[in-house]
Amino acid sequence: MNAPTSPLNLIPEVHQREVPAVLISALKERFGERCSTAQAVREQHGRDESAYTTVPPPAAVVFAESTADVADAVKQASAHNVPIIPFGVGSSLEGHLLAVQGGISVDVSRMNKVLAVNPEDLTVTVQAGVTRKQLNEEIKSTGLFFPIDPGADASIGGMSATRASGTNAVRYGTMRENVLGLEVVTASGEVIRTGTRAKKSSAGYDLTRLMVGSEGTLGVITEITLKLYPLPEAISAAICSFPSIEAAVRTTIQIIQMGIPIARVELLDHHTVRMVNAYAKLGLREEALLLMEFHGSPASVKEQAETVQEISHEHGGQDFEWASTPEERTRLWTARHNAYFAAIQSKPGCRAISTDTCVPISRLADCLLDSVDEAEASGIPYFLVGHVGDGNFHFGYLLDPAKPQEYEAAERLNHALVARALRLGGTCTGEHGVGLHKMDFLVTEAGDGAVEMMRNIKRALDPKNIMNPGKIFVL
Amino acid sequence: MNAPTSPLNLIPEVHQREVPAVLISALKERFGERCSTAQAVREQHGRDESAYTTVPPPAAVVFAESTADVADAVKQASAHNVPIIPFGVGSSLEGHLLAVQGGISVDVSRMNKVLAVNPEDLTVTVQAGVTRKQLNEEIKSTGLFFPIDPGADASIGGMSATRASGTNAVRYGTMRENVLGLEVVTASGEVIRTGTRAKKSSAGYDLTRLMVGSEGTLGVITEITLKLYPLPEAISAAICSFPSIEAAVRTTIQIIQMGIPIARVELLDHHTVRMVNAYAKLGLREEALLLMEFHGSPASVKEQAETVQEISHEHGGQDFEWASTPEERTRLWTARHNAYFAAIQSKPGCRAISTDTCVPISRLADCLLDSVDEAEASGIPYFLVGHVGDGNFHFGYLLDPAKPQEYEAAERLNHALVARALRLGGTCTGEHGVGLHKMDFLVTEAGDGAVEMMRNIKRALDPKNIMNPGKIFVL
């Protein structure tokens, strides 16, 4: 494990490549006002929700309205060896959107059409700029839903590119399991399709899964075909407070090991409950708690909830508080999804460094509890939330951007946590991606040979290294 | 779609590369008796369950007992540009094991250790030669099971390499969803690891999913970490006969569209029931039937079974016949798994050409029924089985290998079926892989651009083209 360094040092070799004026002219000619070089637009597209703030913005932003737009922008950039950085809603936590080697941001947020709903096949095809909430709103009348829900109202393109998940993944899987096929603009500006609408296939290399999680480094995802699920006949959500984080975690481990098909099981520590209470006026008991949801037939939901309540009691959990109406449930889950923003507001002017380790469920307590002790000892304010049913949790260390010593302390905590997770058979990132922040961790986790294989794939599919270069690894 | 051709013509450019005597000597020195050049051993390793019989066998067979053995064999072969063909139990249906460019077969069947069972995490790590039945036998005492079950008792390595599935995939997914991580010997003989034991990860390119389904063309899989599942508290299996294939298919479509978590739903047509009856003395009603299985709590199993029985009745299905004891269930599913062998025995001396299309569930009736009519009109004996809950089904055309006109007629049927499946948004192969037989179909399905991307990956990871060359595509 490398020694902790400040975030700027974690961006290796920030070489701004030249973006020739002739390219900007050509893009303006092709896209008119949809190619912007305005400072404010460029700056908005040159940052994200990560702690990085000091990289110069992209030279221009192209607002694509079609796959052909994306392909033309890539072809023009390719002709000048200029980087292309795909942009959805800007909710990356790992610096994916930063123009560390300069280049052009391609904003796909106007590619926001739901192209084909096939309710009888439980599939939908969308453009990359459709957000998860928009999608669920548009398919509401079908009785189906799309379960993957990162905290932000992210674009489906961005969620695919980072292999995102969220609170429902414990039951419904992640983007890895829920993307059936893609349309991708390659590094040469060619448009290819991967996968079909069939539920399974053994037809050649799994290009779909190669693109999912490639963070824009192998191509720009322009269309996505997703699995949908019938809205459960019955849904029940409950809050349960625990005397300690450990009690909540041990309860979770037992639920998973018993194979109970729980739909959501989310941990909030007492700090986070306090922040969420302040932000959303929730009045929750300020102790560690689990937010849980059960999906199924009425009988099955009742059966699951009874079993889980028994397990919780064995670990000292309070009685369940039920959120029985859809409105109460929405309020609860909105509060959970806003935990990040609630935390940011709790320390005005701060930025958060968010950890993202994921470990085998049996190692969850070992991994989490020691890290809680370390965070407490550091004196740095933090929040702690977890998709604990998957063994995945996030510390968010809240930093004053003006104080390098806070960055350094947070990075020390993060390094210790990742080292611990890897020792326990886990991963440095469960759902946020590598981006700029976890390149060294990736090498420690996967090994030089596997990372070199990734680089070889990158070199083969993007010989000019123009697709979001400098993310995942530096070539 | 290309014009039908005879199977031998479907093996493009059978160029046997030279295997120098010095390589064979070096392998014999390294492996002693575990490197065999005996004609019978070579021939056994130069064929599989596909209809291809006329390719010369590999020059030698190395019986690997460790990852180091595999790595050394690959390094030695690489030094001479000689192909390596991984061999598990020989149950491929698509010619994966044939030495179409010559080379060395690396038999991993002696790498048959279950390396680590982690019941508390629902994971297991095995060597590539462990078979699916062996695995379930060895983990029996944990109360867990591994659900993926292709017809044959295949090796886990081979199942990973072909992205296999089987009867449980409708509920538990395929190898795509159930492999957590791999150990792989690359084309240069290096050993890499992909994935971790964590349930999810966003750590770089998904090399695990790239290797799963790569049919030995990117490396030799030597270890596999798999997901396991708790044995259901209750299991119930039932047979239901229908007045027509259409009625059985429409029942299936409705079960899936309602989101019923059925564990297995398998179609057998009346020909297949007859063959299975003759082979296994089952006495089943010789009509189209669905074999079904329900997993869950006793209450949930009862609820699922009642709903499905109602749907079946609406489509003219008979009352369910229950297989209530484990022995009865095993007998039933063994009969299903032996359908292929029952069919082969029904026409002594025959070979089968097995189709493997998979379509979105709403198009299943359209795809299947026209193909049944065509098969009936052809006069060629066939069997028809289907993992219909996934939209996947197999015709097996039973051919006299001495009669080229039977091959040609079967290939015509196969081409018509694949063309239909692709028009309906499906895939040419749901679970068997491309191998030698479906290369043209793959191009039609995925498009030149996507296949060229696969070739570029292959060239990057196997520059000498020694890893099972001539499968999936010809470089």
Q: How far is A283 from chain B (nearest CA, A)?
A: 33
Q: How far is A409 from chain B (nearest CA, A)?
A: 24
Q: How far is B36 from chain A (nearest CA, A)?
A: 31
Residue B65 to residue B71: CA distance in whole angstroms: 11
Q: What are the chain B neighbours of A196 within 8 Å (beta carbons)?
A: 425-427, 445
Q: Which residue has the tokens 């990973």?
A: B160
Residue B416 to residue B413: CA distance in whole angstroms: 5
Residue pair B424/B385 in contact (Cβ under 8 Å)? The answer is: no
What structural domains and CATH numbers belong to chain B?
Answer: 7-110 (3.30.43.10), 114-230 (3.30.465.10), 234-423 (3.40.462.40)
Is the Cβ pair A174, B198 closer than 8 Å?
no
Q: Which candidate in A142, A170, A201, A221 is best for mutational testing of the B interface (most B CBs within 10 A)?
A: A201
Q: Is A342 helix (H, G, I), strand (E, B) or coil?
A: helix
Q: Give the pLDDT of residue B3.
A: 37
Q: Give the pLDDT of residue B337.
A: 86
| DSSP β-ladder status, A191-194 and A179-185 | antiparallel
Residue A384 above 50 pLDDT? yes
> Taking CA atoms, what residue in B is nearest to A206?
B210
Q: Which candidate in A67, A167, A174, A199 is best for mutational testing of the B interface (most B CBs within 10 A)?
A: A199
Nearest to B216 by CA among B457, B45, B468, B46: B468
pLDDT in tens, A157-212: 999 999 999 999 999 999 999 999 999 999 999 999 999 999 999 999 999 999 99
- Partner residue facing A198 (CB), from B194, B358, B451: B358
Q: How far is B143 from chain A (nearest CA, A)?
A: 11
Q: Which candidate in B118, B122, B201, B362 is best for mutational testing of the A interface (most A CBs within 10 A)?
A: B201
Q: What are the chain A neighbours of B177 within 8 Å (beta carbons)?
A: 173, 177
Count Cβ–Cβ pairs < 8 Å, chain A vs chain B.
Answer: 272
Is the Cβ pair A230, B258 closer than 8 Å?
yes
Q: Give the pLDDT of residue B16.
A: 87
Contacts 24+ apart (CB under 8 A), A370-379: A370/A420, A371/A395, A371/A413, A371/A416, A371/A417, A371/A420, A372/A245, A372/A269, A374/A413, A374/A416, A374/A417, A375/A413, A378/A409, A378/A410, A378/A412, A378/A413
Mean of pLDDT values over A279-303: 93
- Partner residue facing A213 (CB), from B121, B197, B206: B206
Q: Give the pLDDT of residue B294.
A: 97
Q: Give the pLDDT of residue A13.
A: 55
Is the Cβ pair B449, A191 closer than 8 Å?
yes
Residue B350 above 70 pLDDT? yes
pLDDT in tens, B209-233: 999 999 999 999 999 999 999 999 9
Q: What are the chain A neighbours of B305 within 8 Å (beta carbons)?
A: none
Residue A87 to residue A245: CA distance in whole angstroms: 37
Q: How far is B199 from chain A (nearest CA, A)?
A: 6
pLDDT in tens, B84-98: 999 999 999 999 999
pLDDT in tens, B139-170: 999 999 999 999 899 999 999 999 999 999 99
Q: What are the chain A neighbours of B454 within 8 Å (beta carbons)?
A: 204-205, 207
Mean of pLDDT values over B348-358: 93
Q: Give the pLDDT of residue A119.
A: 95
Mean pLDDT of chain A: 94
Residue A5 confidence class, pLDDT cut points 50, 70, 90: very low
Residue pair B257/B376 in contact (Cβ under 8 Å)? The answer is: no
CB atoms within 10 A of CB B250: 19
Residue A10 confidence class, pLDDT cut points 50, 70, 90: low
| DSSP β-ladder status, A60-63 and A104-107 | parallel
Is the Cβ pair B200, A430 closer than 8 Å?
yes
Residue A452 to residue A53: CA distance in whole angstroms: 29
- Partner residue facing B204 (CB), from A194, A391, A442: A442
In percent, the amount of chain A with pLDDT more than 90 equals: 86
Mean of pLDDT values over B109-134: 97
Is the Cβ pair B203, A445 closer than 8 Å?
yes
Q: What are the chain A neighbours of B192 within 8 Å (beta carbons)?
A: 447, 449-450, 453
Residue A244 above 60 pLDDT? yes
Q: What are the chain A neighbours of B122 within 8 Å (beta carbons)?
A: 256-257, 361
Q: Which residue has the higher pLDDT, A336 or B263?
A: B263
> Taking CA atoms, what residue in A is nearest to B160?
A202
Residue B260 above 80 pLDDT? yes
Is the Cβ pair A446, B210 closer than 8 Å?
no
Q: Give the pLDDT of residue B335.
A: 82
Q: Give the pLDDT of residue B324.
A: 77
Residue A415 confidence class, pLDDT cut points 50, 70, 90: very high
Q: Give the pLDDT of residue B472.
A: 97
SS (H, E, C) A357-409: CECCHHHHHHHHHHHHHHHHHHCCCEEEEEEHHHCEEEEEEEECCCCHHHHHH
Residue A335 to residue A346: CA distance in whole angstroms: 14
Is the Cβ pair B454, A204 closer than 8 Å?
yes
Residue B1 confidence class, pLDDT cut points 50, 70, 90: very low
Residue A3 above 60 pLDDT? no
Residue B338 confidence class, pLDDT cut points 50, 70, 90: confident
SS (H, E, C) B383-439: EEEEEHHHCEEEEEEEECCCCHHHHHHHHHHHHHHHHHHHHCCCECCCCCCCCCCCH
Phi, psi of A31 (to 5 degrees): -110, -5
Q: Give the pLDDT of residue A12.
A: 52
Residue B292 confidence class, pLDDT cut points 50, 70, 90: very high
Mean of pLDDT values over A245-267: 95
pLDDT in tens, B243-255: 999 999 999 999 9
pLDDT in tens, A338-360: 899 999 999 999 988 899 999 99
- Partner residue facing A209 (CB), from B206, B425, B453: B206
Q: What are the chain A neighbours of B453 within 8 Å (beta carbons)?
A: 186, 192, 207, 461
Residue B437 confidence class, pLDDT cut points 50, 70, 90: confident
Q: Give the pLDDT of residue B13.
A: 55
**For residues B298, B302, B308 and B311, what is the CA-based torsion angle, rounded to 10 degrees?**
-160
Q: Which candidate in A121, A200, A422, A471 is best for mutational testing of the B interface (most B CBs within 10 A)?
A: A200
Q: Which candidate in B202, B265, B458 is best for mutational testing of the A interface (most A CBs within 10 A)?
A: B202
Nearest to B219 by CA among B473, B458, B474, B439: B458
Residue A117 above 90 pLDDT? yes
Q: CA angle, corner A25, sides to A19 and A31, nearest 5?
A: 110
Q: What are the chain B neighbours of A432 within 8 Å (beta carbons)?
A: 202
Mean of pLDDT values over B362-390: 96
- Partner residue facing A193 (CB), from B176, B230, B450: B450
Mean of pLDDT values over A425-446: 96
- Partner residue facing A447 (CB), from B193, B198, B434: B193
Mean of pLDDT values over B55-59: 94
For residues B65-82, one letter each, b for 16 or more C-beta atoms within 10 angstroms of the residue's C-beta and e for the rest, the string is bebebbbbbbebbbebeb
pLDDT in tens, A33-48: 999 999 999 999 999 9
Mean of pLDDT values over A282-297: 94
pLDDT in tens, A395-407: 999 999 889 899 8
Mean of pLDDT values over B309-320: 96
Residue A341 to residue A381: CA distance in whole angstroms: 14
Residue A335 confidence class, pLDDT cut points 50, 70, 90: confident
Q: How far is A21 from chain B (nearest CA, A)?
A: 31
Cβ neighbours of residue B88 closer than 8 Å, sequence gap 6 or more = B108, B109, B128, B129, B154, B155, B157, B158
Q: Give pTM, 2 decimals.
A: 0.96
Q: What are the chain A neighbours of B197 within 8 Å (beta carbons)?
A: 360, 425-426
Q: How far is B37 from chain A (nearest CA, A)?
A: 32
- Partner residue facing A123 (CB), from B210, B360, B456: B360
Is the Cβ pair B213, A202 closer than 8 Å?
yes
Is the Cβ pair B449, A390 closer than 8 Å?
no
DSSP B50-104: SS---SPPPSEEEE--SHHHHHHHHHHHHHTT--EEEESSS--SSSTT--TT--E
Residue A11 above 80 pLDDT? no
